[in-house]
Protein backbone atom coordinates (compact mmCIF):
# COMPACT_ATOMS: atom_id res chain seq x y z
CA UNK A 1 0.00 0.00 0.00
CA UNK A 2 1.50 3.34 -0.98
CA UNK A 3 2.10 6.15 1.43
CA UNK A 4 -0.27 9.12 1.29
CA UNK A 5 1.30 12.44 0.38
CA UNK A 6 1.68 14.57 3.50
CA UNK A 7 0.18 17.70 1.99
CA UNK A 8 -2.81 15.91 0.47
CA UNK A 9 -3.58 13.52 3.34
CA UNK A 10 -7.04 13.86 4.82
CA UNK A 11 -9.19 12.04 7.35
CA UNK A 12 -12.86 11.34 7.90
CA UNK A 13 -14.38 12.24 11.25
CA UNK A 14 -17.11 10.27 13.02
CA UNK A 15 -20.42 11.63 14.24
CA UNK A 16 -22.92 9.54 16.18
CA UNK A 17 -23.05 6.21 14.29
CA UNK A 18 -26.52 5.11 13.22
CA UNK A 19 -28.06 8.57 13.60
CA UNK A 20 -26.95 10.08 10.30
CA UNK A 21 -30.57 10.69 9.24
CA UNK A 22 -31.13 13.12 12.09
CA UNK A 23 -27.79 14.95 12.07
CA UNK A 24 -29.48 18.23 11.11
CA UNK A 25 -31.78 17.94 14.12
CA UNK A 26 -28.87 17.02 16.39
CA UNK A 27 -27.12 20.20 15.29
CA UNK A 28 -29.80 22.24 17.11
CA UNK A 29 -28.93 21.09 20.67
CA UNK A 30 -25.24 21.31 19.75
CA UNK A 31 -25.65 24.92 18.67
CA UNK A 32 -27.57 25.62 21.88
CA UNK A 33 -24.72 24.12 23.91
CA UNK A 34 -22.10 26.22 22.15
CA UNK A 35 -24.22 29.35 22.54
CA UNK A 36 -24.72 28.58 26.24
CA UNK A 37 -20.99 28.06 26.70
CA UNK A 38 -20.20 31.35 24.96
CA UNK A 39 -22.85 33.31 26.86
CA UNK A 40 -22.13 31.76 30.28
CA UNK A 41 -18.36 32.12 30.20
CA UNK A 42 -18.45 35.62 28.70
CA UNK A 43 -20.93 36.65 31.41
CA UNK A 44 -18.59 35.32 34.10
CA UNK A 45 -15.67 37.26 32.60
CA UNK A 46 -17.74 40.45 32.32
CA UNK A 47 -19.05 40.28 35.88
CA UNK A 48 -15.59 39.63 37.36
CA UNK A 49 -14.01 42.38 35.27
CA UNK A 50 -16.74 44.94 35.99
CA UNK A 51 -17.22 44.42 39.72
CA UNK A 52 -14.26 45.66 41.85
CA UNK A 53 -15.31 43.56 44.86
CA UNK A 54 -14.67 40.44 42.75
CA UNK A 55 -11.07 41.37 42.03
CA UNK A 56 -9.84 38.59 44.29
CA UNK A 57 -7.70 35.49 43.60
CA UNK A 58 -10.65 33.07 43.56
CA UNK A 59 -12.44 35.06 40.86
CA UNK A 60 -9.28 35.65 38.84
CA UNK A 61 -8.81 31.88 38.70
CA UNK A 62 -12.48 31.51 37.77
CA UNK A 63 -11.86 33.94 34.90
CA UNK A 64 -8.95 31.76 33.75
CA UNK A 65 -11.28 28.74 33.80
CA UNK A 66 -13.83 30.65 31.71
CA UNK A 67 -11.15 31.56 29.13
CA UNK A 68 -9.99 27.94 28.82
CA UNK A 69 -13.61 26.78 28.49
CA UNK A 70 -14.15 29.29 25.68
CA UNK A 71 -10.97 28.05 24.00
CA UNK A 72 -12.02 24.41 24.33
CA UNK A 73 -15.46 25.16 22.84
CA UNK A 74 -13.94 27.11 19.96
CA UNK A 75 -11.50 24.26 19.26
CA UNK A 76 -14.19 21.59 18.84
CA UNK A 77 -16.79 23.84 17.17
CA UNK A 78 -15.61 23.84 13.49
CA UNK A 79 -15.68 20.10 12.85
CA UNK A 80 -18.72 19.45 15.05
CA UNK A 81 -20.88 21.92 13.10
CA UNK A 82 -19.41 20.75 9.79
CA UNK A 83 -20.49 17.18 10.55
CA UNK A 84 -23.96 17.82 11.94
CA UNK A 85 -25.04 20.92 10.00
CA UNK A 86 -23.29 20.49 6.66
CA UNK A 87 -22.69 16.74 6.54
CA UNK A 88 -18.98 17.35 5.88
CA UNK A 89 -16.79 14.74 7.57
CA UNK A 90 -13.53 15.12 5.66
CA UNK A 91 -10.77 17.20 7.22
CA UNK A 92 -7.36 17.99 5.73
CA UNK A 93 -4.22 16.95 7.58
CA UNK A 94 -3.05 20.49 8.38
CA UNK A 95 -6.48 21.50 9.68
CA UNK A 96 -6.62 18.32 11.71
CA UNK A 97 -3.21 18.94 13.28
CA UNK A 98 -4.14 22.51 14.13
CA UNK A 99 -7.34 21.37 15.80
CA UNK A 100 -5.72 18.64 17.88
CA UNK A 101 -3.04 21.12 19.01
CA UNK A 102 -5.65 23.57 20.32
CA UNK A 103 -7.90 20.89 21.83
CA UNK A 104 -5.07 19.27 23.78
CA UNK A 105 -3.54 22.62 24.73
CA UNK A 106 -6.78 23.96 26.18
CA UNK A 107 -7.46 20.63 27.91
CA UNK A 108 -4.12 20.88 29.72
CA UNK A 109 -4.83 24.53 30.50
CA UNK A 110 -8.14 23.54 32.07
CA UNK A 111 -6.47 20.85 34.16
CA UNK A 112 -3.81 23.33 35.26
CA UNK A 113 -6.37 25.98 36.19
CA UNK A 114 -8.32 23.43 38.22
CA UNK A 115 -5.10 22.63 40.08
CA UNK A 116 -4.43 26.30 40.84
CA UNK A 117 -8.02 26.65 42.04
CA UNK A 118 -7.46 23.71 44.41
CA UNK A 119 -4.36 25.48 45.72
CA UNK A 120 -6.42 28.66 46.11
CA UNK A 121 -9.01 26.83 48.23
CA UNK A 122 -6.24 25.25 50.34
CA UNK A 123 -4.65 28.63 51.07
CA UNK A 124 -8.03 30.25 51.78
CA UNK A 125 -8.98 27.56 54.31
CA UNK A 126 -5.61 26.81 55.92
CA UNK A 127 -4.16 30.35 56.01
CA UNK A 128 -7.05 32.82 55.71
CA UNK A 129 -5.12 35.63 57.40
CA UNK A 130 -2.27 35.35 54.88
CA UNK A 131 -4.47 34.66 51.85
CA UNK A 132 -3.93 38.04 50.20
CA UNK A 133 -0.21 38.08 50.99
CA UNK A 134 0.33 34.62 49.44
CA UNK A 135 -1.85 35.02 46.35
CA UNK A 136 -0.84 38.49 45.21
CA UNK A 137 -1.81 39.81 41.77
CA UNK A 138 1.77 39.38 40.58
CA UNK A 139 1.82 35.76 41.74
CA UNK A 140 -1.53 35.06 40.09
CA UNK A 141 -0.26 36.56 36.83
CA UNK A 142 2.88 34.39 37.08
CA UNK A 143 0.73 31.29 37.59
CA UNK A 144 -1.37 32.20 34.57
CA UNK A 145 1.72 32.69 32.42
CA UNK A 146 3.19 29.39 33.64
CA UNK A 147 -0.05 27.60 32.71
CA UNK A 148 0.02 29.02 29.17
CA UNK A 149 3.73 28.30 28.64
CA UNK A 150 3.41 24.76 30.03
CA UNK A 151 0.35 23.90 27.92
CA UNK A 152 1.62 25.35 24.65
CA UNK A 153 5.23 24.24 25.12
CA UNK A 154 4.35 20.61 25.74
CA UNK A 155 2.07 20.37 22.71
CA UNK A 156 4.10 22.17 20.04
CA UNK A 157 6.07 18.96 19.20
CA UNK A 158 2.91 16.83 18.76
CA UNK A 159 1.62 18.22 15.42
CA UNK A 160 5.20 18.52 14.13
CA UNK A 161 5.85 14.85 14.87
CA UNK A 162 2.52 13.78 13.37
CA UNK A 163 3.14 15.89 10.25
CA UNK A 164 6.27 13.87 9.51
CA UNK A 165 4.45 10.52 9.55
CA UNK A 166 3.22 8.80 6.38
CA UNK A 167 -0.47 7.84 6.40
CA UNK A 168 -1.66 4.90 4.37
CA UNK A 169 -4.15 3.08 6.58
CA UNK A 170 -7.88 3.44 6.88
CA UNK A 171 -8.52 7.17 7.19
CA UNK A 172 -11.51 6.94 9.55
CA UNK A 173 -11.06 8.72 12.90
CA UNK A 174 -13.01 7.62 15.97
CA UNK A 175 -14.29 11.03 17.07
CA UNK A 176 -15.91 14.20 15.76
CA UNK A 177 -12.66 16.14 16.13
CA UNK A 178 -8.98 15.37 15.74
CA UNK A 179 -7.15 13.95 18.76
CA UNK A 180 -3.49 12.96 18.98
CA UNK A 181 -3.90 9.19 19.65
CA UNK A 182 -6.65 8.96 17.04
CA UNK A 183 -4.53 10.46 14.25
CA UNK A 184 -1.36 8.63 15.31
CA UNK A 185 -2.94 5.18 14.93
CA UNK A 186 -3.59 5.85 11.22
CA UNK A 187 0.12 6.16 10.42
CA UNK A 188 1.70 3.30 8.50
CA UNK A 189 5.06 3.46 10.22
CA UNK A 190 6.46 2.90 13.69
CA UNK A 191 4.89 5.36 16.14
CA UNK A 192 6.54 4.28 19.39
CA UNK A 193 8.26 7.66 19.80
CA UNK A 194 4.98 9.52 19.24
CA UNK A 195 3.18 7.20 21.62
CA UNK A 196 5.86 7.58 24.30
CA UNK A 197 5.80 11.36 23.95
CA UNK A 198 2.01 11.45 24.18
CA UNK A 199 2.09 9.26 27.30
CA UNK A 200 4.76 11.51 28.84
CA UNK A 201 2.62 14.61 28.23
CA UNK A 202 -0.49 13.01 29.69
CA UNK A 203 1.26 11.69 32.80
CA UNK A 204 3.21 14.91 33.42
CA UNK A 205 0.11 17.10 33.09
CA UNK A 206 -3.25 15.45 33.65
CA UNK A 207 -1.71 12.71 35.79
CA UNK A 208 0.32 15.02 38.02
CA UNK A 209 -2.48 17.60 38.22
CA UNK A 210 -5.08 15.05 39.32
CA UNK A 211 -2.77 13.65 42.01
CA UNK A 212 -1.99 17.14 43.33
CA UNK A 213 -5.69 18.07 43.35
CA UNK A 214 -6.47 14.98 45.43
CA UNK A 215 -3.55 15.80 47.74
CA UNK A 216 -4.80 19.39 48.10
CA UNK A 217 -8.22 18.18 49.17
CA UNK A 218 -6.64 15.76 51.62
CA UNK A 219 -4.88 18.71 53.24
CA UNK A 220 -8.06 20.79 53.08
CA UNK A 221 -10.04 18.03 54.77
CA UNK A 222 -7.42 17.70 57.50
CA UNK A 223 -7.58 21.46 58.11
CA UNK A 224 -11.37 21.50 58.13
CA UNK A 225 -11.57 18.62 60.63
CA UNK A 226 -9.34 20.58 62.99
CA UNK A 227 -11.89 23.42 63.13
CA UNK A 228 -13.87 23.18 66.37
CA UNK A 229 -17.14 24.71 65.18
CA UNK A 230 -19.37 22.50 63.03
CA UNK A 231 -20.85 25.60 61.39
CA UNK A 232 -17.40 26.85 60.42
CA UNK A 233 -16.45 23.42 59.06
CA UNK A 234 -19.52 23.34 56.83
CA UNK A 235 -18.91 26.92 55.73
CA UNK A 236 -15.32 26.09 54.77
CA UNK A 237 -16.33 22.97 52.84
CA UNK A 238 -19.12 24.85 51.08
CA UNK A 239 -16.55 27.12 49.45
CA UNK A 240 -15.08 24.05 47.74
CA UNK A 241 -18.31 22.62 46.29
CA UNK A 242 -18.16 24.53 42.99
CA UNK A 243 -14.55 23.55 42.40
CA UNK A 244 -15.20 19.89 43.23
CA UNK A 245 -18.07 19.87 40.71
CA UNK A 246 -15.80 21.34 38.01
CA UNK A 247 -13.10 18.76 38.75
CA UNK A 248 -15.62 15.91 38.48
CA UNK A 249 -17.09 17.34 35.26
CA UNK A 250 -13.63 17.45 33.70
CA UNK A 251 -11.96 14.26 34.95
CA UNK A 252 -14.82 11.73 35.20
CA UNK A 253 -15.65 11.51 31.45
CA UNK A 254 -11.93 11.60 30.63
CA UNK A 255 -11.22 8.61 32.88
CA UNK A 256 -14.21 6.75 31.45
CA UNK A 257 -13.08 7.45 27.89
CA UNK A 258 -9.55 6.31 28.70
CA UNK A 259 -10.84 3.08 30.24
CA UNK A 260 -13.02 2.33 27.22
CA UNK A 261 -10.13 2.93 24.79
CA UNK A 262 -7.83 0.61 26.73
CA UNK A 263 -10.13 -2.11 28.05
CA UNK A 264 -13.50 -1.75 26.35
CA UNK A 265 -12.66 -3.26 23.00
CA UNK A 266 -16.26 -4.38 22.57
CA UNK A 267 -17.72 -1.01 23.53
CA UNK A 268 -19.86 0.52 20.80
CA UNK A 269 -18.41 3.42 18.77
CA UNK A 270 -21.42 5.50 19.86
CA UNK A 271 -20.48 5.16 23.54
CA UNK A 272 -16.97 6.43 22.81
CA UNK A 273 -18.31 9.42 20.89
CA UNK A 274 -20.81 10.26 23.63
CA UNK A 275 -18.15 10.06 26.34
CA UNK A 276 -15.88 12.34 24.33
CA UNK A 277 -18.77 14.82 24.05
CA UNK A 278 -19.23 14.69 27.82
CA UNK A 279 -15.53 15.41 28.29
CA UNK A 280 -15.11 18.24 25.78
CA UNK A 281 -18.57 19.82 25.50
CA UNK A 282 -20.22 19.59 28.92
CA UNK A 283 -17.66 21.34 31.22
CA UNK A 284 -17.68 24.62 29.23
CA UNK A 285 -21.48 24.66 29.44
CA UNK A 286 -21.93 23.65 33.08
CA UNK A 287 -18.97 25.34 34.79
CA UNK A 288 -20.56 28.83 34.57
CA UNK A 289 -23.87 27.37 35.80
CA UNK A 290 -22.22 25.66 38.78
CA UNK A 291 -20.30 28.76 39.83
CA UNK A 292 -23.31 31.02 39.35
CA UNK A 293 -25.51 28.77 41.48
CA UNK A 294 -22.98 28.15 44.26
CA UNK A 295 -21.24 31.55 44.45
CA UNK A 296 -23.44 34.18 46.10
CA UNK A 297 -21.36 37.15 44.96
CA UNK A 298 -21.64 36.20 41.29
CA UNK A 299 -25.25 35.05 41.46
CA UNK A 300 -26.47 38.23 43.19
CA UNK A 301 -24.68 40.48 40.74
CA UNK A 302 -26.02 38.62 37.71
CA UNK A 303 -29.54 38.77 39.13
CA UNK A 304 -29.21 42.51 39.72
CA UNK A 305 -27.92 43.01 36.19
CA UNK A 306 -31.03 41.39 34.72
CA UNK A 307 -33.37 43.09 37.18
CA UNK A 308 -31.93 46.47 36.33
CA UNK A 309 -32.16 45.74 32.63
CA UNK A 310 -28.43 45.50 32.22
CA UNK A 311 -27.71 48.75 34.02
CA UNK A 312 -24.26 49.69 35.15
CA UNK A 313 -22.81 47.10 37.44
CA UNK A 314 -20.43 49.58 38.94
CA UNK A 315 -23.12 50.80 41.35
CA UNK A 316 -23.77 47.36 42.81
CA UNK A 317 -22.61 47.20 46.37
CA UNK A 318 -20.45 44.27 47.49
CA UNK A 319 -21.81 41.63 49.85
pLDDT tens digits along 71-91? 999 999 999 999 999 889 999
Asked if residue 171 has pLDDT above 90, the reply is no
Give the Å distances, CA to CA, from 315 to 44, 55, 137, 302: 18, 15, 24, 13
Residues 6+ apart with CB under 8 A from 114: 65, 209, 213, 243, 246, 247, 250
Q: What is the mean pLDDT of residues 169-177?
A: 83
Residues 6+ apart with CB under 8 A from 99: 75, 76, 78, 79, 91, 177, 178
The residue that leads in pLDDT, 135 or 310, is 135
| pLDDT the model gives residue 21 | 86
pLDDT above 70 as % of the chain: 91
Give the Å distances, CA to CA, from 125 to 25, 56, 160, 228: 47, 15, 44, 14
Asked if residue 5 has pLDDT above 60, the reply is no
| pLDDT the model gives residue 245 | 93
**Can you list the positions of beta strands (E) in 107-155?**
none
Bridge partners of 11?
91
Entry pTM: 0.89
CA distance 295 to 314: 19
Structural domains of the chain, ranges and CATH numbers in brackets = 10-315 (1.20.1070.10)
Amino acid sequence: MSHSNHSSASFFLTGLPGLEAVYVWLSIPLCVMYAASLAGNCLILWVVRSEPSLHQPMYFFLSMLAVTDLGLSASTLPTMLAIYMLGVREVALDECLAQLFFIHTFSIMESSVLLTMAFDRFVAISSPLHYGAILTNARIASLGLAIVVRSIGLHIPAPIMLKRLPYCRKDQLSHSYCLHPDVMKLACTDTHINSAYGLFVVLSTLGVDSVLIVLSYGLILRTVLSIASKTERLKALNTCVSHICSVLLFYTPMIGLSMIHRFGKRASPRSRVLLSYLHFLIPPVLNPVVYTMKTNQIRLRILRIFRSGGGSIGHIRGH
